[in-house]
Structure 1
Amino acid sequence: MNFYFEATKILDRLDAKQGSIKGLIATLPENSRKRSAALVIETLKYKSVLLDVIQTSGLMKQERKVNSINLALVLTHDLLLAKGGIQCGDGPLKAAILRHKTRLHGEFKRLAVKRGVASTSELAQTADERSAQIPRYVRVNTALWSAPQAIKYLEGVGFMLKESISSSAYHPKEFAKDAHIPDLLLFAPQTSFADEPAYQTGKLILQDKASCFPAAVLSPPASDDAVVIDATAAPGNKTSHLSALMRNKGKLYAFERDVRRFNTLKTMLSKAQCSNVVPTHKDFLTVDPNDDEFKDVTHILLDPSCSGSGIVNRLDFLLESGTNEEDSNVTSDRLAKLAAFQLKMIKHAMGFPKVRRIVYSTCSIHATENEHVVREALLSEEAKAAQFILAPRDEALSSWPRRGLLSEMACEDDAHSVIRCSPGEDLTNGFFVSCFIRKGLANGTLKRKAGEQEDGNANPHKKSKAKNRKAKKPIPPS
């Protein structure tokens, strides 16, 4: 019965908006995680149907022991949809559900007929169609072995390395090297690595391609005296990527303020054998930049909370229930609050006395969280005092063609400096990456002041915004 209670708690926390499905599932005990996770996901797929069935049957009105709607959902799910029915011994809760077995089955069949479906699976909520085209991306953990070693191993267990793979005709046993991120491999979307020993031991890490961009752009030093910060580190994929790029040298402080996510972070880092990481259960915003422990930090990765609007291959489509005008207003307010928090994070990072490179990223498609935040950061007193500018394109994954929205940036150079990923076109989740560097560190040359155009306009926004108020199309490759 315990895993029913675990699943119920996850659903309760989702209702309270205390985290994402994936993040909350990661907090479950490892020995029961797989079973509880499957129950949570399957229950959410049929949630609207199950709620209708439970309400119409009068179950909760007649059974006082079933006093939680989410507990009723998981038990009713297994009664109606699991092959073996409710998976627990006899007890008062199971008995309460079984007393209504005939009525629940009847209401379920009535609803299926009403909706005109031929099979039960048609009642399930489905994901964004774009997610079906996104490959399964697997990053080789170079802290433990090399890409050639990983490729040889994969070929030995039945996979075939190809020059490229087509998104319109994936083969389940084919894979290819990524064109932009070293040590990243592409597989068919449905390829499972859950039982693969190389995944279980941290040698292979499942990570979306766009999620690999921040660490690649930050390009942390691989030296014994390196001091780097990952400001919002959980669940740990980006942290382990940074650690691998640093070759497990120096110190990498990984901050996480939430205790459950912090425990998940530690588990991930242990699995990936990141020996240079210092997991730190603390809010990055409370850190004194001049503290002896952090005053020598030179590189900071910022991937703060965002709307998550760019993620299409995530489970959180199961939490969506349609939109209306009220929802849009809430979204607008939420975006403004998120943007204010994101800007605060960047300005705090700029206060570290020796920081030379700051990467700010989101998994959002909204300019409010992306270009607007970067633009405001460049105009901030913190940026001016420390002389921060945007790294030029040739230092920010120059081979990636999709760049920032020109209509939302101060000038063309700034738009070219930032990176965007489109979930419908780039075979990734939606993503945004920017990189701030101190003036004079761009290929050894001085660049324009923060927020200025090349002609020296001190306040370029009125001029350039009017000039560039065109359709919000990403900058094409140069």
Structure 2
Amino acid sequence: MDVYRQAAEIVGVVRAGNGTAKALCLRKAMQKKRQTYAVVCETLRHYELLEDVLEVAEFFKYYPQANHEFAMCMAYDVVLGKGVNTHNDSTARAITQSASYLREAYWQVHKHHIIPPRSNEKLEDEVAPDTSGGARRKIGPGDGAFSSHSLQLPRYARVNTLKISVEELVSRLRRSSEARKRARDAADGDGNTAVRSHSQQQDSDKRTTRRASLRLHLPLPEFTQDPIVPDLLVFPPGTDLHAHPAVRSGQLILQDRASCLPAAVLLDAVPVEIIGENKASSSSSGGGGKTKRHGKALVKAELEDNKTATAARKQLEYVVDACAAPGNKTTQLAALGAPHLKIMATERDERRAELLSKRVTSLGAADYVNVVNMDFFQLSSDDRAATEGILLDPSCSASGVMTRVDVALQHHHVQQQQQGKGQPADRAVSSRQGGRCGGHPKNAAAGEGQLDGDTEEAITSGAINPDAQGNDFSMKEERVEKLARLQRKLLAHSLLSFDNCRTVVYSTCSVHEEENEEVVRQVLDDERVKARGWRLSNIMPDTWKTRGVEREDEAHPLHFTIRCDPATDATNGFYVARFDRVC
């Protein structure tokens, strides 16, 4: 099936509210994924305009048997695209024969349409939760993350400190920026020279052309370092880094801000307060342990004690990345923990394990990571006994990872539902499509028509598995509950089956409370977990604003966990909880 046939099928599914453009384009069966994704996104962006074009041109009046979605994609090609249609079926021939009428109709109607801007997100390697109440967030027209098409997330890239230091790479990138500025200034100066002969002008034009070509390879715009996440660089929205030498060499890894948090939280690369950490030492000195309180009534003095204890906290030496493929978080663990940390990266799917192994090697982490093609539940007793920490980022709905075109289509679909069925728009959005299903694999996040590290990670790992569900991507409650059952099982296994493990980090790229706080809540209610001394630790209490959702009668300090909100935190929807064992 060629690009336009594939695109037409996907446009129909997305318009029906049964899938996301990105996930559907990344199915295994799809050919020419990037081109297909580009046509899908552009057709969806211009959909209402194209409908008007076809109506004014009376296309379906003369060709009533034409396939509607295929005609839309073909009309996009004729009116706004590159005119590369090579089809010879009846609909394609009809569009070709009507091309002049369609273009004329376009000039009549285009001024009446406002086209949403591109998201500048690459096709690839990521609805934010409300922190004010316990119910699943109801996202409506006023929501900051969805109310405006102008919301654009920055482009994030993590410095791979296994290959280069942050300081050295930043220095190189800034020298490149300065060189580009000098080249631009010199080109401008050439243009202002007072009098030149014809030959001098030609020479100047050649130099300007060379400089313009050079600027394409001098690359980056201004950037900053993330104030919270270690080794993370922040570029303007839409910055295309895929062809940059630092990315191609593995010195710079395209990874969303939220995706960097779990590894940083596990290895104390960001502030984490372990409640009760000082209890034993305080008792031995006669001071006694401070009483643990839930929620915001936590004793201030205990928090101060915990800050002091963090610096002296014993470093983890052996950790398991339970759902590792294809390896962004695995290699981040290696970079943060080198040279003392050893990592077992488990992946039960043979193909994904092979991809994981190749990525670990290419990014310089092979000395620290042992890739094992094995189910996390099947680890040997020796491996479980050696484990001190676990990073658990299991399969989830991926409901926090969406492109702007998906968001716009979701709003359209919700409005249609609201008009037809009287269903509140906010409730319908809260149960929108996801894209992560299947076994244990990983998640992934950014510009239209291209691929980047986090989303590609979700696909290649199987976290987004379009083939498993065909075209049905609706996030029905039963599917969320099915995922939540797997997540609870994995988390309980992590807390109960590793006798020497003292830290577990649980994360998802979901915004559904059922996959986040409710999973944590139910596992903490397990008497076996309580008996082992597991407690939630307070993640970045002073620096991260978006906290976990708590009920009014909450029995656990779920505000110790964190969420990521696109509008507040400039990253994709995400959830992170850390458990520490205090005996």
TM over 0.5: yes
- Name the structure 1 match of 2:493: 348
1:367 has 2:513 as partner: yes
Which of 192, 198, 210 does residue 240 from structure 2 map onto? Answer: 192
Match of 1:81 in 2: 80
SS at match of 2:501: coil
Which among 222, 230, 237 is matched to residue 182 of structure 1? Answer: 230
Partner of 1:148: 167
- Relative distance call for 1:307 and 1:272 in structure 2 (3 A) is same
Structure-1 residue corresponding to 2:395: 305
Instruction: Tell me the SS of whatever aligns to 1:181.
Output: coil
Query: 1:209, CA displacement in angstroms?
Result: 1.6
Instruction: Say whether residues 1:41 and 2:41 are aligned partners.
Output: yes
Q: Distance in 2 between matches of 1:278 and 1:13?
A: 41
Q: Is contact 2:25–2:36 with CA below 8 Å preserved after alignment?
A: no
Distance, in Å, in 2 between the alignment partners of 1:350 and 1:274 is: 27
Query: What is the match of residue 404 of structure 1?
Result: 548
Distance 1:7 1:278 in 2: 40
Per the alignment, do residues 272 and 87 of structure 1 end up closer, same or farther by CA in structure 2, a change over 3 Å counting? farther
**Deviation of 1:152 (Å):** 0.8
> Which has the higher mean CA deviation after the structures are superposed, 376-385 or 289-298?
289-298
Q: Secondary structure at the match of 2:386?
A: coil
Q: Say which one has the larger Rg.
A: 2
Q: 1:145 to 1:130 in 2, by over 3 A?
A: farther
- Deviation at residue 73 of structure 1 after TM alignment: 5.9
- Residue 240 of structure 1 corresponds to which residue in structure 2? 331
> 1:418, 1:434 within 8 Å by CA — same for their partners in 2?
yes
Deviation string 1:167-189 (CA, Å, 9 cap, x unpaired) is xxxxx832222111121112211
**Aligned mates of 1:408, 1:214 — CA distance in 2:** 27
The equivalent position to 2:574 in structure 1, one of 415, 431, 449, is 431
- The residue type paired with residue 330 of structure 2 is T
Matched, 1:419 2:562: yes
TM-score (norm 1): 0.69
Match for residue 344 of structure 2? 252
Further displaced range: 186-195 or 298-307: 298-307
How far off its partner does 1:315 sit? Answer: 5.8
Work out the CA distance in 2 between the residues paired with 1:277 and 1:13. 40
Unaligned runs of at least 5 residues, structure 2: 120-144, 180-219, 270-313, 418-422, 432-474
1:295 CA displacement = 4.5
For residues 236 and 17 of structure 1, what CA distance do their matches in structure 2 show?
29
Deviation at 1:212, TM superposition (A): 1.1
Normalised by the length of structure 2, the TM-score is 0.58
Q: Check the 8 A contact 2:158/2:232 in 1, yes or no.
A: yes
Correspondence for 2:95 among 83, 96, 100: 100
Q: Which amino acid aligns with 1:373?
A: V
What stretches of structure 1 of length at least 5 have no aligned partner?
A: 161-171, 441-478
Amino acid aligned to 2:169: A
Pair 1:401–1:124, CA change in 2 (3 A): closer
For 2:388, give the aligned amino acid.
T
Is 1:211 the counterpart of 2:259? The answer is yes
Alignment partner of 1:339 is 2:484? yes
Alpha-carbon distance in 1 for matches of 2:62, 2:247: 43
- Structure 2 residue aligned with 1:167: none
Match of 1:100, SS?
helix
User: Alignment partner of 2:265: what SS?
Assistant: helix
**Are the structure 2 counterparts of residues 292 and 344 from structure 1 closer, same or farther at C-alpha, using a change threshold of 3 Å?**
same
| Deviation of 1:291 (Å) | 4.6
1:228 lines up with 2:330 in the alignment = no
Distance 1:27 1:334, change over 3 A: closer
CA RMSD of aligned residues (A): 4.5
Q: Measure the CA separation in 2 of the matches of 1:105 and 1:267.
A: 51
> Is 1:387 the counterpart of 2:536 in the alignment?
no
| Alpha-carbon distance in 2 for matches of 1:174, 1:277 | 34
Q: Residues 87 and 307 (structure 1 numbering): CA distance in 2 closer, same or farther, change over 3 Å? A: same
User: Which residue of the partner structure matches residue 169 of structure 1?
Assistant: none
* Counterpart position of 1:447: none
| Contact 1:133–1:189 (Cα < 8 Å) also in 2 | yes
Q: 1:157 to 1:409 in 2, by over 3 A?
A: farther
Identity across matched positions, percent: 32
**Count of aligned residue pairs for this structure pair:** 411
- 1:301 is paired with a residue of what secondary structure? strand
- C-alpha deviations, 1:204-258, integer Å up to 9, x for none? 122222221111011189x999443323334532222122223275233142649
Q: Which residue does the alignment assign to 2:111?
A: 118
CA contact (8 A) 2:6 2:30 kept: no
- Once the two structures are TM-superposed, the CA of residue 196 in structure 1 deviates from its matched residue by 0.9
SS in 2 for 1:425: helix
C-alpha distance in structure 2 between counterparts of 1:123 and 1:178, whole Å: 29
Contact 1:377 1:383 in 2 (8 A): yes
Aligned twin of 1:168: none
